[in-house]
Structure 1
Amino acid sequence: MSELRIATCTYQEFQPEMGTPIRTTAGHPRFALSYQIAGHAKLVTPAWALVKANLPEDAYEFQYRRQLSAAGLDAIRAELYAIAGAYDLDSPAVLLCFDRLNKPGYFCHRTHFARWYAAETGELVPELGAVCAPKPWDQGGLF
């Protein structure tokens, strides 16, 4: 099996040269896309109940990580490999969502997935869309 590389982005910021676009949202995009989605990663998609729960980020991430762990790393990798493998394994499988990360206070399941995946595998999952500038304490600055 070829190595599967994974990245994340928004539907809005994704460009085809970034990789293979994969849906990870409970709902379909309600706007026209200039590219075709390769498939839907259902095991990575948050459950509707979680999406609608309006939880604080730490509680959301805890519940989402439980969902990912219940699905299992091997099954998630197999699902992503099957979708990306049908297109182009030489470019990253790009997990797409609606939420822009450059808005203060916003969070997204794709960031939580990236942290979970890195913890499970040691492999980093880069964000290809715009992100907020790091806070001073994230850079070893003020605190």
Structure 2
Amino acid sequence: MTEDLRLATCTYQEFTPDMGTPVRTTVGHPRFPLTYQLGGIARSVMPTRPLLRIEVQDAYEFSYRRLLEQRGIDAIREELTGIAGANDLDAPLVLLCFDKLSKPGNWCHRTHFAKWWKDQTGNEVPELGSLPIQAPPTPPALFEF
């Protein structure tokens, strides 16, 4: 049941165990030592290697959403529910990848997955890592006489 399945997203680097159960969603393994144990691997959420070659965000999101649709919401929900059941059911599953969103222009499959999941289930998937730094608002121009 999706109402009971709590999801969040983060980077491997920013994740801390108090956030929930860490779940790998990347094609590649982390190439650095983790200070925590992964609770599972969500293969149904992973992009494909050819998808990773797409550098234009709109094209990537279109192709990734199409991939998620092919895999199907029921299969994805079943896999994620199985991972949750093998871990702490009260903790959210935190879907991990490498890309830090705090870098201007960065995006990744986890943000596109979060939007797709909300479209499919109505449930939000919060980002627990650093978000893009917003530029401060420009003060109104002062008139000089």
TM-score (norm 1): 0.90
Matched, 1:77 2:85: no
Q: Distance in 1 between matches of 2:73 and 2:133?
A: 30
- Between the aligned partners of 1:86 and 1:18, the Cα distance in structure 2 is 17
Q: Within 5 Å, which residues of 2 pair with 1:114-125? A: 114-125=114-125
Aligned position for 1:14: 15
- 2:104/2:133 contact within 8 Å kept: no
Counterpart-to-counterpart distance in 1, 2:134 and 2:51: 27
Deviations 1:95-136 (A, max 9, x none): 000000000011110000000000111100000000113579
Determine which structure has more spread, i.e. the larger CA radius of gyration: 2
- Distance (Å, rounded) in 2 between the aligned partners of 1:74 and 1:107: 26
Tell me the matched-pair count: 136
Stretches of 4+ moved more than 2 A in 1?
Answer: 133-136
Residue 58 (structure 2) pairs with residue 58 (structure 1): yes
Identity of aligned residues (%): 61
Q: Which runs of 5+ in 2 are unaligned?
A: 137-145
**CA RMSD of the aligned region, Å?**
1.6
1:132 aligned counterpart, secondary structure? coil
In the TM superposition, what is the alpha-carbon distance from 1:89 to its structure 2 partner? 1.2
Counterpart of 1:31 in structure 2 is 32
Q: Which residue of 1 aligns with 2:89?
A: 89
User: Gaps spanning 5+ residues in structure 1: where?
Assistant: 137-143
Superposition TM-score, scaled by structure 2 size: 0.89
